[in-house]
Amino acid sequence: MPYDVNDTKSFNAGFEPVYRAAYFSVKAMNGKILVNDPKNRKMQAQMDKKLYGKVLGDRSKLEIEFVEDQPGVTTLKILAYPLNAIGQKLMFGARKGVVETVLAAFYAEIEKRLETQQAEA
């Protein structure tokens, strides 16, 4: 599984705001929520091969687990990988850097939404 990217990122916010920010970030990036399970603190999303109008070439899937390490700090544990046109995991022929680009944009969207939520509070 050479294309799998395991990544973690912590945010200085509780589970609920981070989950909400992640959900709306996927929507803002024209992704589809495949699994929406806040009770078990899991989410899966399929991201389009276009990101903000730029063609990346491959679709990506994000399998996200939310872990609240301590009060007010939530860590996202993400397994991300490229998909083919019919939603199957790519085992060869994936374009380099697509999944990493999607993850960076996803984190930026979450941070932007969390800052907005904190400013409104």
pLDDT, tens digit, for every residue of 73-113?
A: 999 999 999 999 888 998 888 889 999 999 999 999 999 99
- If you ran DSSP here, which 8-state letter would residue 92 be given? S
Structurally, how many domains does the chain consist of? 1
Task: With cut-offs at 50, 70 and 90, classify the pLDDT of residue 121.
Answer: low
Instruction: Identify the CATH number of the domain in which residue 17 sits.
Output: 3.30.310.80
Domain region containing 55: 5-120
pLDDT at 1 over 70: no
pLDDT, tens digit, for every residue of 31-60?
A: 999 999 999 999 999 999 999 989 998 999
| Alpha-helix residue ranges (DSSP H) falling in the chain | 15-28, 98-120
* Confidence at residue 117, expressed as pLDDT on a 0 to 100 scale: 76
**Phi (first) and psi of residue 65, to 5 degrees:** -120, 130
What's the burial of 71, exposed, middle or buried (CB within 10 Å: 0-12/13-18/19+)? exposed
Integer angstrom CA distances of residue 79 from 54, 82, 120: 23, 11, 31
CA distance 30 to 60: 12
CA atoms within 13 A on the CB side of 83: 18
